[in-house]
Structure 1
Amino acid sequence: MKYKASSAFSLLFVTSMLLVPSTQVLAQKASRTANVPPSADLTYAISAVQKGLSLNGNASLQWRADDGRYSIASETRASIVGKILESKSEGRIDSNGLVPQTSVEKRFRKEATTTTFDRDANVIRFSASDQTYPIKGGEQDRNSVIWQLATIARSTPAKFKSGSTVSAFVAGQKNAEAWSFKVGKAENIKTGIGDMSAVKVSKVAGTDKDQKIDLWLAPSQNWYPVRIRFSEPDGDFIEQTISKITTP
């Protein structure tokens, strides 16, 4: 399934995934106690090319993890048009990491949509469609999945090696699908808070028509996502790079 660039912002804020060998799945335990990133407020600078037009903007994200619960609240603004996305994910934290309960997205000039992980009925439901999927363990939404990757890196660093592959069943606004991520090498990147080393993780595209997603997690910054890039087959892209990190 191809996600358009207009929906790509949500993936940044846009993780129960566990890093294991490629023959295994993400729902397996990484450690006895998941080591989630500490709470923080993150600000990102955005640069993009959409239909040949260069755009800039910013995004703010509030990540909270405390007392067995987590929440992710984000807001994205683009030059000229203003706020284009609000999103929120919340749920529990267990030994495997994040366990989403609800995910809400409000996009520019559209009604808000809610994805619900009904743990009593073991079903994923969508306000924007009649589609449902069974909950088998390890499912994520597009907001939580990146933070689950960071949790994996912190909980089992010895397994977070270049060449490793992880997979998860990820729910969007109307449906869900299996995603795979490949862990790459550490790279030196430039950010608004200085140069830093960050491990590149890329979503594996099923076909050459799928959107490509690359993200960089910085070990020196609690494995926060410090850069993420969404690339379309037609050359359009959106890149978000950290400009400020504040711990509450």
Structure 2
Amino acid sequence: MLKPISVCLVILALSAPCKTIFAQTNEATARQAFKLPPGAELQYSIKAKQSGLPLSGSATVKWQIADQKYNIITETHAMLVGKILDASSHGNIDEYGLAPDKFVEKRFRKPATTTSFERDSKTLRFSASTETYVLKGGEQDRTSATWQLIAIARAAGEAFKTGTEWKMLVAGRRDADPWTFKVLGQENIKTPMGEMLAIHVSKAPPADSKDQQLDLWLAPGLEWYPVRLKFSDADGDYVDQVLESVKK
């Protein structure tokens, strides 16, 4: 079965004691200048290897902003199986950028999970676990994180250069973890829309982790939208998405 495909799906296997310590000591994300891209619907083709088997499919990402609010809806389909993932993130836009209220994920043959950013009580909660975190500003979920990174890159301009690192706290289905995105350099990416110059950014797992690695290629000439995303597992399995079309 194809593994669910979205920037929100990197799961870090931390022990319960470590998560409890982090929940009590997580630091506020540093404020960064940001410039959100215009709303769009992005269509991707997918090629993957899962448990040694080649697979293909498609994904649609709807990015919407209006009246200081945002909404992101992702749907992923696999050949012969159908829809294998629904994921959504919605919330407001504040001084940090995206400020999620709810992150909902529905995986193939599994119940939906909800991650709630309760702004009034400044508490991050999960329907799939009893973990809680104090909201201090700048926290993202695994769907909004890509778009927050895009907004930071658009504002940073030439400062978003090779070797720089960009950090944020990212919540998943059961817990939250610090993510570090590192800029690796420029590459030309072939897509059905033509060859595009893109900035390669990588979110690698910790050295002692078997977590997925996430690579993104952001295209400055196309509003910094991700023209390619790749999720790589330690066992050699991967999911590779390439942009097919953009509707603004």
Scaled by the length of structure 2, what TM-score is found?
A: 0.88
Whole-angstrom distance in 1 between the partners of 2:97 and 2:158: 17
1:10 paired residue number:
6
- State the shift of 1:26 in Å: 8.2
1:1-248 equivalences in 2 (<5 Å)? 6-7=3-4, 9-11=5-7, 27-31=29-33, 34-207=34-207, 209-247=210-248
8 A Cα contact 1:115 1:124, kept in partner: yes
Deviation per residue, 1:156-198 (Å, 9 max, x gap): 2132111001111110001111111101111001012110000
Deviation at 1:77, TM superposition (A): 0.1
Aligned partners of 1:161, 1:217: CA distance in 2, in Å? 12
* Backbone CA RMSD of aligned residues: 1.7
* Contact in 1 for aligned 2:96/2:137 (Cα 8 Å): no
Structure 1 spans left out of the alignment, 5+ residues: 15-24
Contact between 1:12 and 1:228, CA under 8 Å: does it hold in 2?
no
After TM superposition, the score normalised by the length of structure 1 is 0.88
Give the secondary structure class of the aligned counterpart of 2:183.
strand
* Partners of 1:168 and 1:178 within 8 A in 2: yes
Q: Aligned pairs, how many?
A: 230
**Secondary structure of 2:59's aligned partner:** strand
Moved more, 52-61 or 95-104: 95-104
Aligned residues of 1:41 and 1:62 also touching (Cα < 8 A): yes
Contact kept, 8 Å, 1:88 with 1:104, in 2: the verdict is yes
Deviation string 1:125-183 (CA, Å, 9 cap, x unpaired) is: 01111111111221100000000010001112132111001111110001111111101
1:95: how far off?
A: 3.0
Secondary structure of 1:121's match? coil
Q: Distance in 2 between matches of 1:10 and 1:173?
A: 13
CA offset at residue 28 of structure 1?
2.7
**C-alpha distance in 1, partners of 2:149/2:68?**
18
The one-letter code sitting in structure 1 at the alignment partner of 2:244 is: S
Change (3 A) 1:177 1:29: closer
Displacement of 1:54: 0.3
Question: 1:20 — aligned with what?
Answer: none
Distance 2:230 2:183 in 1: 15
Any gaps of 5 or more consecutive residues in structure 2? 11-26
> For the residues of structure 2 that align with 1:47 and 1:139, how far apart are their CA atoms?
31
1:18 aligned residue? none
Higher RCO (CA-CA < 8 Å; seq separation 6+): 1
TM-superposed deviation, 1:12: 6.1
Residue pair 1:13, 1:87 contacting (<8 A) in 2 also: no
